[in-house]
Homo-oligomer: A and B are copies of this chain.
Amino acid sequence: MVGDAQATRQRLLEAASREFAAYGIAGARVDRIAAAAKSNKAQIYHYFESKDGLFDAVFNALVADAVREVPLDVDDLPGYAGRLFDGYEAHPEVARLATWYRLERAGSQAPLESIIASNRHKVERIEQAQREGLLTTRYKAVDLLALVVHLASLWTATTPEFTTLVAGHSRADRRKIVTDAVAALLTP
């Protein structure tokens, strides 16, 4: 029975991840999530209390995964940006969920301490590398992190109007533009 409950909860998270990535929080329909997970609305409210609660559970699980999957490498920031890019390519729903979170959820709940702590730790490691002369000091550490992470998301943020102009780009082309741009930022 405990195994059943775990399995149901997991199916709900997976169905909710697809639904929220496609439609956002306001646009998501709890009954569609329940049907896709072969569950029902009562179970959703039992496990997650509300649609917002379900979104938060999905978001926290996916962000935690994303942070674990791509550790910061201060010796190779272009490679780090490339691996972030790879993550967005492999899991396009993560970038969409992060954007919905920023647009729909961020104003109504406190910033997540686990993400703040993770960012702070990354900033400290970049500062350390700057003190050791391994990284440019042209930018503050926090700004360099912001730039690298933002550049990694270059192709997740393009409009359909722009996408038509780069239809000939392979994934490798798009990746190289990201890593080259980060390398250019770091050139003394």
Residues of A within 8 A of B (CB): 23-27, 96, 98-104, 106-107, 111-112, 115-116, 119-120, 123, 138-139, 142-143, 146-147, 150-151, 153-154, 157-166, 177, 180-181, 184-185, 187
Contact = CB atoms under 8 A, between A and B. Distances in A.
A166 B187 contact: no
Nearest to A153: B157
User: What is the total number of copies of this protein in its complex?
Assistant: 2
A58 to B, nearest CB: 16
Nearest to A110: B160
A117 B35 CA distance: 43
A166 B99 CA distance: 19
A112 B27 contact: no
Contacts of A99: 99, 103
Contact of A27 (B24, B138, B151, B185): B24
Contact of A111 (B27, B103, B150, B160): B160
A120 B161 CA distance: 10
Contacts of A150: 150-151, 154, 157-158
Nearest to A120: B165
A65 to B, nearest CB: 16
